[in-house]
Structure 1
Amino acid sequence: MKGKTLQETAYDEIKNKIIRGDFLESGFTSQNQLAAELGISRTPIMTALQRLEHEGLVKIIPKHGIQILGLNVQELEEIYELRLAVEVFTIPKIVKLVTSEQIEILEEIIQEQKKCIENNDLFQFLKLDSAFHLQLIEVYGNSLFVQTLSNMVERLFSNIYFYRRKDYQISRYIKEHEQIMEAIKSKDINQAIKELETHIING
């Protein structure tokens, strides 16, 4: 159990470092460096890295180190196409099934995103952006859709450098989320689809 706990801890910590953009400048790290930074022995570190490699977030290069992988243009397009297919498909049922409690959760996420802009907290803002979309899919109730979307947003997180561009206005995401919610609350399926499509395509 102790080994499993260390492996899970190493996995979570390394993934968070990738998501935060800790490796943006070098694009590389090493097993020894991660072990020293996290205070975890090499064995659980390597197990975590193998899991992250399977997920496409890193590449283990023997005798050279750990390369942090980004997405190329084709991979980005494929992810957004899949997001469109999954998320837009779920909207009609979401509009019909969503409860007042679920709407409250979604709107609370939007309010938390506004606080992130005030605090200049890009990392938390993007985590909340993912939470917003995952919460919508959870209303639909398909666990495979939830897992698929979760995997996709994690891959997008590995490209956090994109969101650091000076010309990228993350505040528009909030407005688009609010427009999606207005359509859902109004039970306007066509408008909700339109707003969600626009939001994803803008990404």
Structure 2
Amino acid sequence: MAKFEYDDNENLVNSLRGKVFNQLRSQILTGIYKPGDSLIELRLSEELGVSRTPIREAIRQLELEGLVHAIPNKGAVVKGVTEQDVEDIFTIRMRIEGLASRWAAEKITEEEIKELKEALEFEEFYTIKNDVEQLMKFDSKFHDIIFRASKSNPLMHMLSTFHHYIQSARNNSFHIPGRPDKVFDEHKAIFEAIRKKDADTAEQLTVAHIRNARNSYNEKHHKS
């Protein structure tokens, strides 16, 4: 594959570095790369069709986020997300995602209410069809719209990152019998509270929703 010149084009460097980082992070978080796997710069360079520069920079960023551990003269080894990480993220989400719903109820626009309603309708459709792949897509969209409606960039960025980090746990929850129906019911109740500008109820329902997601994950994990 053709290589790119990086030193002469800072935008190209940043763009490639971001794409490589996002791809590698996604592959780690979804389990394609498992804890203990090595990330070899040369092999990744050949697989992704880029030079080793953005690979090296992406791996450095992954190390800063605690997803890999760089070993001198040996490269980077995947650490992944631990069970304690998942538990911590669920706990943090209960504290701040409720706040996102509260602010969304206070600040949401009519256009965003329409978007949220549409995402919920698609979620209902794919729940009935039991299409897990589409359900995950619209589950994420539902939450993303609420984050955006909160009108808080720091909160939106933080929660989007957390959702990435427990993507595997979230995906697995949709395979638990009966959980997709409960998720839809919980989302519907949250939507109604936000639509009615009932900030207290929106926050309480969201905290309960995250708690239920955590309990479902723990129950499934302990059984397996």
TM-score, normalisation: structure 1: 0.78
**Matched-pair identity in %:** 26
Displacement after TM superposition at 1:96 (Å): 2.9
Partner of 2:50: 40
Partner of 1:182: 192
Matched, 1:107 2:117: yes
Question: C-alpha distance in 2, partners of 1:177/1:143?
Answer: 22
1:178 partner SS: helix
Partner of 2:216: none
> In the alignment, which of 175, 182, 195 is matched to residue 205 of structure 2?
195
1:59 partner SS: strand
Question: C-alpha distance in 2, partners of 1:78/1:138?
Answer: 23
Are the equivalent residues in 2 in contact too, given 1:61–1:67 (CA < 8 A)?
Answer: no
TM-score, normalisation: structure 2: 0.72
Question: C-alpha distance in 1, partners of 2:47/2:177?
Answer: 31
| Structure 2: segments with no counterpart, 5+ residues | 1-8, 214-224
Q: Which amino acid aligns with 1:67?
A: V
Displacement after TM superposition at 1:169 (Å): 5.3
> In the alignment, which of 176, 197, 202 is matched to residue 167 of structure 1?
176
| Structure 1: segments with no counterpart, 5+ residues | none
Partner of 1:67: 78
> In the alignment, which of 144, 147, 154 is matched to residue 157 of structure 2?
147
From the superposition, tell whether residues 8 and 191 of structure 1 become closer, same or farther in structure 2 (CA, over 3 Å).
closer
> Deviation digits for residues 169-189 of structure 1, max 9, x if unmatched?
551323321221122223333
Q: Which amino acid aligns with 1:30?
A: L
> In the alignment, which of 37, 50, 54 is matched to residue 60 of structure 2?
50
> Deviation digits for residues 125-177 of structure 1, max 9, x if unmatched?
445434432321322212111122122222222xx167437536551323321
Displacement after TM superposition at 1:65 (Å): 4.2
Q: Which amino acid aligns with 1:100?
A: E
Q: CA RMSD in A?
A: 2.9
Are the equivalent residues in 1 in contact too, given 2:66–2:79 (CA < 8 A)?
Answer: no
Are the equivalent residues in 2 in contact too, given 1:23–1:68 (CA < 8 A)?
Answer: no
Displacement after TM superposition at 1:47 (Å): 0.7
Partner of 2:96: 86
Displacement after TM superposition at 1:21 (Å): 3.0
Displacement after TM superposition at 1:94 (Å): 2.3
Matched, 1:5 2:11: no
Displacement after TM superposition at 1:101 (Å): 0.8
From the superposition, tell whether residues 68 and 190 of structure 1 become closer, same or farther in structure 2 (CA, over 3 Å).
same
From the superposition, tell whether residues 35 and 161 of structure 1 become closer, same or farther in structure 2 (CA, over 3 Å).
farther
Q: Which amino acid aligns with 1:106?
A: L
Instruction: Give the stretch that moved more between structures: 183-192 or 112-121.
Output: 112-121
Question: C-alpha distance in 1, partners of 2:119/2:179?
Answer: 15
1:167 partner SS: coil
